[in-house]
Chains A and B, each alone.
Chain A
Amino acid sequence: MDFIIDGFIKAFFLLIHLDPATMSAISATLKVSTIAILISLVLGLPLGFALGYFTFPGKRHIKTLVDTLLALPTVCIGLIIYALISSQGPLGEWNLLFTLTGIAMGLTVLALPIVIAITAATVENIDPELKLTLVSLGAGRHHIVRTCLWEVRYGILAGVVTAFGRVFTEVGIAMMVGGNIKYHTRTMTTAIALETNKGQFADGIALGIVLIIIALCVNFCLSFLRKQ
Chain B
Amino acid sequence: MTLAPPIYRLEKTTHFYADKQVLDIADLEIPQGSITGLMGPNGSGKSTLLKILAFAMRPTSGRVRFKGTPRYPFSSEISGKVTLVTQKPYLLKRSVFDNIAYGLKLRHTPRGLKPRVQGAMAEVGLDFDRFAFRQWHELSGGEAQRVALAARLILQPEVLLLDEPVASVDAQSAALIRTASLAARKNRGTTLIITSHDLPWLFTCTDTQLTINNGALFATGREIVIPGPYARKERGTKAWTRQLDDGQIIVLPAAASAEKTAVIQRKHIRLTRPEETGAASDNRILGTVQSMYITGQPNEVMTTIDAGGVSFMLGMTSDRSARLDLQPGVHITLEFSSADIFWQ
Contacts and interface: CB of A to CB of B under 8 A. Distances in A.
B86 A138 contact: no
Contacts of B51: 132
Contact of A138 (B79, B85, B89): B79
A136 B148 CA distance: 11
A156 to B, nearest CB: 13
Given A132-B51, A132-B56, A132-B84, A138 B90 contact: no
B152 A132 contact: no
B74 A136 contact: no
A129 B136 CA distance: 15
Q: Chain A interface secondary structure, helix, strand, loop or mixed?
A: helix
B102 A129 contact: no
B86 A135 contact: no
A137 interface: yes
A133 B86 contact: yes
Contacts of A139: 106
B323 interface: no
B90 A143 contact: no
B83 A136 contact: yes
Interface in A103-144: 127, 129-130, 132-133, 135-141, 143
A161 B200 CA distance: 53
Interface in B120-165: 148, 151-152, 155, 161
Contacts of A127: 90
A151 interface: yes
Contact of B106 (A130, A133, A137, A141): A137
Interface in B75-128: 79-80, 82-86, 88-90, 92-93, 102-103, 106-107
A137 B153 CA distance: 10
A140 B14 CA distance: 25
A141 B75 CA distance: 11
B86 A132 contact: yes
A151 B93 contact: yes
Given A137-B102, A137-B106, A132 B155 contact: no
B10 interface: no
A140 B79 contact: yes
B interface, size bucket: 20 to 34
A138 B107 contact: yes
Interface of B, helix, strand, loop or mixed by DSSP: loop
Nearest to B73: A135
B84 A138 contact: no
Contact of A137 (B73, B74, B93, B103): B103
A99 interface: no
A140 B51 CA distance: 16
A41 to B, nearest CB: 20
Which residue of B55, B73, B82, B86 has the most chain A CB atoms within 10 A of its CB atom?
B86
A147 interface: yes
B79 A133 contact: no
A136 B54 contact: yes
Nearest to B55: A135
B80 A138 contact: yes
B90 A137 contact: no
Nearest to A153: B93
Nearest to B80: A138
A209 to B, nearest CB: 37
Interface of A: 127, 129-130, 132-133, 135-141, 143, 147, 150-151
Given A132-B54, A132-B90, 5 more contacts: A130-B90, A133-B148, A136-B84, A137-B102, A150-B93
Interface of B: 51, 54-56, 73-74, 79-80, 82-86, 88-90, 92-93, 102-103, 106-107, 148, 151-152, 155, 161
26 contacts: A127-B90, A129-B86, A129-B89, A129-B90, A130-B92, A132-B54, A132-B84, A133-B89, A133-B92, A135-B55, A135-B56, A135-B74, A136-B84, A136-B86, A137-B80, A137-B83, A137-B151, A137-B155, A138-B79, A138-B106, A138-B107, A138-B155, A140-B79, A141-B74, A151-B92, A151-B93
